[in-house]
Structure 1
Amino acid sequence: MAIPSSYVSSIPVITGNNCKKWVEELELHLGLLDLELTLREFQPDPLTDTSTAVERTKFKKWTNAKRKCMLVVKKAVPEIIRGNVEIKDTTKEFLDVVKARFELHKKAETITLMTKLMNTMYDGNESVREYILGVASDASKLKDLGIHIDEEYAIHVALNTLPS
């Protein structure tokens, strides 16, 4: 089965903020393309002279799905990330490595945003409104990362750092 380019182009490119959604979208598209076989089933044993026709068919289908799957996944992962992630034998292993890489990114981003929020000071380079919206935006980003900061608290922090 040929892979329609519309399927591949509709898969979002992974960034530091969309890893979970990216995996869901990728799994959906691979399922629609009938390629998720490599995510659900282990790699079949290598073929031998005594392999049955059913085993040969299963091996060929799995190998074909693996090849196409890796092409789709690599298309959805930017070169800069692919260069930092070890290419694995199966799509499932490759996705696990990518997820692990982004978990580290998520932790680093959480620490950066928490530090920024707790050490924020109004410097006068922007309007007070923009400053408060920026602090609220950082709190919202933390919420997306699983750290709930009440919006009222974030605004309170912003207001307390304004000059008297």
Structure 2
Amino acid sequence: MLILYIAYFTFTFSVNNNMVTIEVLTGSNFKKWKEDIEFAMEMADVDLSLVTDKPGDLTVTSTDDEKLVHAAWIQSNRICLLSMRRSILDHLKSGLPIDCAAKELMTAISERYHVSLNADIGNLLQVLFNMKYDGS
């Protein structure tokens, strides 16, 4: 069972009584967003399209196993794409591919928001500067 709760900057999935939260991609939190998406899709057992390429088209001679894999990949791709697109701020969606697989969309987003070591250091410094002494 998959339930989606939407807050301003997070999405929370309830998958088999496990709560999984995804931060909305704001541009500066790509690394965390990617980890959240991958974890949520793994927990929901729909990460097939994120980790594999699209299977070949079905033919008359396709086996039942090939048909099952194809159907599972199509469903996984649909759910992953919906989850990814819903967790990106609207103004950041421009320029992203529209008609693509989830793996291709993740690659495009990764290229746009490539995380450098300096960005990680900057985030840590910002957390440090915003800390307040609480007396303990």
Tell me how far 1:88 sits from its aligned partner.
Answer: 4.5
Deviations 1:67-106 (A, max 9, x none): 1110001111111111232225211110111111113xx6
Q: What SS does structure 2 have at the residue aligned with 1:7? A: strand
Greater share of residues in strand = 2
Q: Which structure 1 residue ranges, 5 or more long, are not aligned? A: 111-140, 152-164
1:27 matched residue in structure 2: 38
Q: Is the 8 A contact 1:88 1:94 kept in 2?
A: no
What is the CA–CA distance in structure 1 between the aligned matches of 2:94 and 2:53, rounded to whole Å?
26
Q: What SS does structure 2 have at the residue aligned with 1:71? A: helix
Q: Which has the higher contact order (CA 8 A, sep 6+)?
A: 2
Work out whether 1:89 is the aligned partner of 2:100. Answer: yes
Q: Is the 8 A contact 2:23 2:33 kept in 1?
A: yes
Q: Which structure 2 residue ranges, 5 or more long, are not aligned? A: 5-11, 15-19, 129-136
1:4 aligned partner, one-letter code: I
1:7 matched residue in structure 2: 13
Greater share of residues in helix = 1
What is the CA–CA distance in structure 2 between the aligned matches of 1:69 and 1:4, rounded to whole Å?
14
Deviations 1:45-79 (A, max 9, x none): 10001101111011001101101110001111111
What is the CA–CA distance in structure 2 between the aligned matches of 1:49 and 1:28, rounded to whole Å?
36
What is the CA–CA distance in structure 2 between the aligned matches of 1:35 and 1:61, rounded to whole Å?
8
What is the CA–CA distance in structure 1 between the aligned matches of 2:21 and 2:32, rounded to whole Å?
13
Structure 1 residue ranges (4+ consecutive) displaced by more than 6 angstroms after TM superposition: none
Work out whether 1:78 is the aligned partner of 2:92. Answer: no
The alignment-based identity, stated in percent, is: 25
What is the CA–CA distance in structure 2 between the aligned matches of 1:93 and 1:142, rounded to whole Å?
25
Q: What SS does structure 2 have at the residue aligned with 1:100? A: helix
Q: What SS does structure 2 have at the residue aligned with 1:10? A: strand
What is the CA–CA distance in structure 1 between the aligned matches of 2:105 and 2:69, rounded to whole Å?
22
1:63 aligned partner, one-letter code: I
2:95 aligned partner, one-letter code: N
What is the CA–CA distance in structure 2 between the aligned matches of 1:99 and 1:40, rounded to whole Å?
15
What is the TM-score normalised by the length of structure 1?
0.60
